[in-house]
Structure 1
Amino acid sequence: MAKTTKILSGEDYLDQFDSKAYAGAFFSEIEIEGFSFTEFRLKTLHKIYSKGNIKGKLLLEIGSGPCIHTVIPAASWFDEIIMTDFSPSNRDMQEKWLKKDPGAHNWDKFFKYYSKLDGNEDNWQQLEAVLRPKIKRVLTCDVFKQNPLDPIQLDPVDVICTSACLESACPDKDAYHNAMKNVVSLLKPGGKLILIGILNCPHYVVGSEIFQCLSISRDEVINTVKANGLDVIELFDDDTPVEEGTTIFNGTVIILAEKKITHVGVQSL
């Protein structure tokens, strides 16, 4: 009888997610033939932040994984950056990079790439020097909690970025909607959400393990954002399909959205 491969999810991220294998598989290179997802993500994030309109006191990254590449172009625009993740392995990798631990993933290529987009490739280490002290905390995050950062209470934040997190965490579309609601609750009215969504991906491989992913369409992602009190400002699409072993998806959407400001009417006497 053929062995049935277990699909991991949920609580399995606590003790079976190999952050080093994940970073090595997906974020060792940028320009990979037939795999434009990483390059598309970097170029789009650079385009969003380089305008100088997305800025503030605090940037909160929800579900950072073991990665820092999504906050590199934001470093100059915020006083503080907080990284979060559910997996202890991912948070440990974050801390290792912050402490310059030899076991940390090497992000030099990403700093160089962003610096090249800035027209300043030779000074990429300056960008790294700006980012590291801006990351003040690495926190535990659970998007299924009403306050995903519980027991930490933050004042409503200026900007939230989340990348391939909700679809990795959620077993179904109702859970996806509720997780989005919880994340958006941390955002101040008028604050911005930057969401990077992986489309129609049923599962993905990390090392020798397969993790569940919610297969969700572009329109479903957009509609969930709108249903949770945000206006879409900009949409960026990459419809390049990827099929590598059991990691399959057929595109990426990046959404820049703004949380609606609700005006309370004043009753005249």
Structure 2
Amino acid sequence: MFHPSRIYSFYISGHIRGKLLLEIGSGPCIHTVIPAASWFDEIILTDFSPSNRDMQEKWLNNDQGAHNWDNFFKYYSKLDGNEANWQQLEATLRPKIKRVLPCDVYKQNPLDPIQLDPVDVICTSACLESACLDKDAYHNAMKNVVSLLKPGGKLILIGVLNCPQYTVGSEIFKCLPISRDEVINTVKANGLDVIELFDDDSSAEEGTTIFNGTVVILAEKK
């Protein structure tokens, strides 16, 4: 579902680089931004959940109980032809993650009260469909997120399609079931041109987690 090779291809193509990359709705994870380490001066992670932000901080500080992301660093280093020196990639990324911030995509400024200058790139993965209860809310959340991009800035969006709910541990969470075309149309309706698009019909039906496709979009703000 994560499509790491697709994300890597965006960076290698030269489309994705700049001063600041902002990830919206990182969850407790850092793996989505690993390939950005060589292309940005600063990276900011965000999430609505304090417990998710705590997990990010644990990894940044090398605290006990931090999740081990070594396999992802090894994977991306292998794509670079440098698998034996994967720890160099980890050492490059860690100091570039400057802040871990609260985020609420329902707010006009999702980072409120923090005010950022418009950013070069925003990455968001399986966030908006998890946060939104209906398609109007999804459209408005996309609008709020895109407002943080500068003109000519890039959006990397990874969407999970037709997923009504999912499970984390023993907890069941509602999700907005949304189609491929609805995701693409919402991106375009919020002032972005789609540069590259990848999708697949991979599906899952494990317990209460159900989805039947994913889409990966690279778009540019007009």
Separation of aligned partners in 2, 1:101 and 1:51: 35
Deviating above 2 A after TM superposition, structure 1's stretches of 4 or more consecutive aligned residues are none
- Alpha carbons 1:50, 1:73 under 8 Å: kept: no
1:200-211 matches, cutoff 5 A? 200-211=162-173
- Alpha carbons 1:171, 1:214 under 8 Å: kept: yes
Q: 1:170 aligns with which of 106, 122, 132?
A: 132
Aligned partner of 2:12 in structure 1 is: 50
Separation of aligned partners in 1, 2:15 and 2:92: 19
Q: Which amino acid aligns with 1:190?
A: G
Offset of 1:243 from its aligned partner?
1.3
SS at match of 2:117: coil
1:3-152 matches, cutoff 5 A? 37-38=1-2, 41-152=3-114
Offset of 1:118 from its aligned partner?
1.1
Q: Which amino acid aligns with 1:192?
A: K
Q: Which amino acid aligns with 1:216?
A: I
Separation of aligned partners in 1, 2:49 and 2:97: 18
Rg comparison, structure with higher value:
1
Aligned partner of 1:29 in structure 2 is: none
Paired residue total = 222
Separation of aligned partners in 2, 1:229 and 1:51: 23
Separation of aligned partners in 2, 1:58 and 1:244: 37
TM-score (normalised: structure 1):
0.82
Give structure 1 stretches of 5+ with no counterpart.
Answer: 1-36, 261-269
Aligned partner of 2:152 in structure 1 is: 190
Offset of 1:120 from its aligned partner?
1.0
Show CA shifts across 1:194-222 (max 9, x none): 00000000000011110000000000000
Aligned partner of 2:120 in structure 1 is: 158
- Alpha carbons 1:52, 1:77 under 8 Å: kept: no
Q: Which amino acid aligns with 1:167?
A: E
1:247-266 matches, cutoff 5 A? 247-260=209-222
Separation of aligned partners in 1, 2:56 and 2:203: 29
Separation of aligned partners in 2, 1:87 and 1:222: 27
Aligned partner of 1:238 in structure 2 is: 200
TM-score (normalised: structure 2):
0.99
Separation of aligned partners in 2, 1:236 and 1:123: 30
Separation of aligned partners in 1, 2:134 and 2:110: 18
Offset of 1:52 from its aligned partner?
2.6
Show CA shifts across 1:107-165 (max 9, x none): 00000011111111111100000000000000000000000000000000000000000
Larger relative strand fraction: 2
Q: Are 2:143 and 1:181 equivalent residues in the alignment?
A: yes
Offset of 1:238 from its aligned partner?
2.0
Give structure 2 stretches of 5+ with no counterpart.
Answer: none
SS at match of 1:154: coil
SS at match of 1:58: strand
**Superposed CA RMSD:** 0.7
Offset of 1:53 from its aligned partner?
2.7
SS at match of 1:76: coil
